[in-house]
A = this chain, B = another copy of it.
């Protein structure tokens, strides 16, 4: 696979400066799993005293590393104060690889555990790339010494580059926030070049913080909705090293918990939007904002129906203000809607209201707006207080080119 050019929607400043997280070190190496001339494996070491949490794809065909992570997280020995490690490779997803797939996970996490003197139950893995081909674990194991030698608090960008697949840029986001008078740092990386549902390419997200958090699941995932029903390997893990001398955050409803969750949410949204910005072949970043639904659930239905519609997405690619396709997407969403109360705006341009095109709308104004790189599609159902926002990208010729020939 030749290196694709960087998405036109990539953040202009390149990879951000992320805060170093005390207790976390990163390394990357070239194991030669599938790609040539680039790193394809990364190792993250987390110091003793940390806590970890994770959410994973709900796919019924999820990959061996996902199943292994789920089991390990569910059966952590109480009171074990060892560190953790995360080992991730690109090029091969180790998905639908039968029982050999689990053996590969065992072999790799066993070797990482031995090398870093960790219990194997504290070593998590992920794999992303082609499905259904055996993952050559020996190549990863052969690269472990190089990875250990390279571990550094400053190598997060190298780690982010090593797990890219069809990604055209490395994705990172960070935050510093005052919690109970203490400065807490958050740094995260992600891979994925997604069209949002359906059929997002595998998304892997790793987030680190030096905050002291005792109920990590409660404080993080309960406060933030994660949509992981897509690929066979989607993984989101968070580690809190607890290095900051501060009272433990134990609840998401405490002042400290709220402050931390807000900062974490900002980092997660930043990473998720970068994944959309790297949508395969994308040239437009589109925010679909739905208001006035009878419930938030209905608003989500409408927003997804619009955001996932190939007809809407191709119209956006063609810079065509084809609001008729939005009307169609609202109609087929299954949500309660009234044709004559619907109001559609493209940014500040009011397009349709009262069951018809707006008296103030001109096709020229609509077409001019659609030439923007970032677009807001605003749909007011006029019925209630339900609202939702979904981000998506356009559907272009480049998407077909990338995906009709991904494995070559």
List B contacts of A230 (CB < 8 A): 332
Q: Given A59-B331, A61-B339, A327-B232, A356–B96 Cβ distance below 8 Å? A: yes
| Nearest CB of chain B from residue A249's CB, rounded to whole Å | 34
Q: B132 to A323, Cβ gap below 8 A?
A: yes
Would you call A309 an interface residue if the criterion is a C-beta within 8 Å of the partner chain's C-beta atoms?
Answer: yes
The answer to whether B324 touches A96, judged by C-beta atoms less than 8 angstroms apart, is yes
Question: How far, in angstroms, from A109 to B329 measured CA to CA in the complex?
Answer: 28
In the complex the two chains form, is B397's CB within 8 Å of A400's CB? yes
Given known A-B contacts A99-B355, A132-B323, A400 and B406 have beta carbons under 8 A apart? no
Instruction: Tell me, rounded to whole Å, the shortest Cβ–Cβ distance linking A149 to chain B.
Output: 34
Give CA–CA (A308, B311) in the complex, Å: 13
Known: A98-B356, A198-B310, A355-B98. A400 touches B396 (CB 8 A): yes
Contact B100–A320 (Cβ < 8 Å):
no
Contact of A327 among B131, B310, B329, B352 (CB under 8 A): B131
Which residues of chain B have C-beta atoms less than 8 A from A399's C-beta? 310, 314, 400
B400-A337 in contact (CB<8A): no
The verdict on A60 contacting B330 (CB below 8 Å), with A395-B400, A400-B314, A404-B317 known, is: yes
A322 at the interface (CB under 8 A from B): yes
Q: Kindly state the separation between the CA atoms of A320 and B402 in the bound complex, as whole angstroms.
A: 12
Cα–Cα distance between A199 and B100 once the two chains are bound (Å):
40
Docked complex Cα distance between A231 and B309 (Å): 12
Chain A interface residue count, Cβ-Cβ cutoff 8 angstroms: 70
Interchain CB contact under 8 A, B132 and A332: no
Question: Could you tell me the distance between the alpha carbons of A403 and B355 in the complex, rounded to whole angstroms?
Answer: 24
- For this chain, the copies found in one complex come to 2
Q: Which residues 311-346 of A have a CB within 8 angstroms of B?
A: 311, 314-315, 317-318, 320, 322-325, 327-340, 342
Whether A130 is near chain B, meaning CB under 8 Å from some CB there, is yes
Q: Which residues of B contact A309 (CB under 8 A)?
A: 198-199
A327 neighbours in B (Cβ, 8 Å): 61, 95-96, 131-132, 232
A99–B336 alpha-carbon span in the complex (Å): 20
Contact flag A352-B231 (CB < 8 Å), given A61-B337, A404-B320: no
Within the complex, what minimum Cβ distance (angstroms) separates A380 from chain B? 14
Contact partners of A357 in chain B: CB under 8 A = 96, 132-133
Q: Is A34 an interface residue (CB 8 A)?
A: no
Q: How far is the CA of A395 from the CA of B280 in the complex (A)?
A: 15
Nearest opposing residue in chain B for A408, CB measure: B320
**In the assembled complex, how far is the CB of residue A336 from the closest CB belonging to chain B, in whole angstroms?**
7
CA distance A98 to B331 in the complex (A): 15
**CB distance A406 to B60 under 8 Å?**
no
Question: Known contacts A96-B355, A101-B356; can you find 15 more A-B pairs with CB under 8 A?
Answer: A59-B328, A60-B331, A60-B335, A93-B324, A96-B357, A98-B356, A131-B324, A131-B328, A132-B327, A133-B357, A198-B309, A199-B310, A315-B404, A315-B406, A400-B400
23 contacts between A and B (CB under 8 A): A57-B331, A60-B335, A61-B342, A96-B324, A99-B355, A101-B356, A130-B324, A132-B324, A198-B332, A199-B309, A231-B328, A232-B331, A310-B395, A310-B399, A314-B400, A314-B403, A315-B403, A315-B404, A318-B404, A320-B405, A322-B406, A395-B400, A396-B404
